[in-house]
Amino acid sequence: EVQLVESGGGLVQPGGSLRLSCEASGFSFSSYAMSWVRQAPGKGLEWVSAISGGGSSTFYADSVKGRFTVSRDTSKTTLYLQMNSLRAEDTAVYYCATNRGSVQRVSPSNWLDPWGQGTLVTVSS
Amino acid sequence: QTVLTQPPSVSGAPGQRVTISCTGSSSNIGAGYDVHWYQQVPGAAPKLVIYAHSNRASGVPDRFSASKSGTSASLAITGLQAEDEADFYCQSYDSSLSGYVFGTGTKVIVL
């Protein structure tokens, strides 16, 4: 069974840092690009970042560029999101998801399936 | 900023048909990028419903269908059931933003 399990969320002060993890199982982790998507409380979905299967290509939404860093460890089949200089507007549930529709690369035609259960990040003093 | 616009809500009685529109522009749907649809019930993660315009995800009943024309796409649900009550989001790619974009989301209400 394909499964994605996020962890690492919590309460952090503005300006602080947090690292999210997404452990994958049930599929060939390195064969697929992965994405992070977030959802602020009561709001819609916002794509945050994507990384190719090999980890060499990374992409970010303008809202997080320069503050967030996506990475992956194939040996641990785990995706990461390092979040620095956090702001109140970063408060959201963060989901990891598998990019489908291409092998390894992040493609404009990708859809996201499956998704993890999400981890809540709250940025507040 | 809002890139893909959806109606806030649509409603219908059980058994009826509802449609959800997803309006984009020449830098996303109008540029020929694929459109995908997700369903999210409260408190749960989004789940893929339709990929690449009109392909149903595994396990999705054929009551769900989708289409695309010009700068817009739409999702139709026929034979509406109580279990269909959820939020639905469209997703595409935007060349101006160089990233994936989601619609504003539509709540399907089963009367």
Provide the β-strand partners of residue B91: B36, B102
The Cα A28–Cα A103 span in angstroms is 11
- Helical H runs in chain B? none
pLDDT at position B2 is 74
Q: Do B89 and A117 touch (CB under 8 A)?
A: no
pLDDT at A75: 96
Starting at the earlier edge strand, list the strands of the sheet with B18-23.
Answer: B18-23, B72-77, B64-69
Pairwise CB contact (< 8 Å): A47 & B101: yes
How confident is the model at residue A125, as a pLDDT? Answer: 96
* B45: chain A residues, CB-CB within 8 Å: 95, 115-118
Q: Which residues of chain A have pLDDT under 50?
A: none
Q: Which residues in chain A have their CB less than 8 angstroms from residue B97's CB? A: 61-62
Task: Give the pLDDT band of residue B4 (cuts 50, 70, 90).
Answer: very high
Q: For chain A, first and last CA: distance in Å?
A: 40
> Residues A56-71: pLDDT tens digits?
999 999 999 999 999 9
Closest to B66 measured CA to CA, from B81, B88, B82, B47: B88
What does pLDDT average to over chain B?
A: 96
pLDDT at B14 over 90: yes
Predicted confidence at residue B33, as pLDDT, reads 96
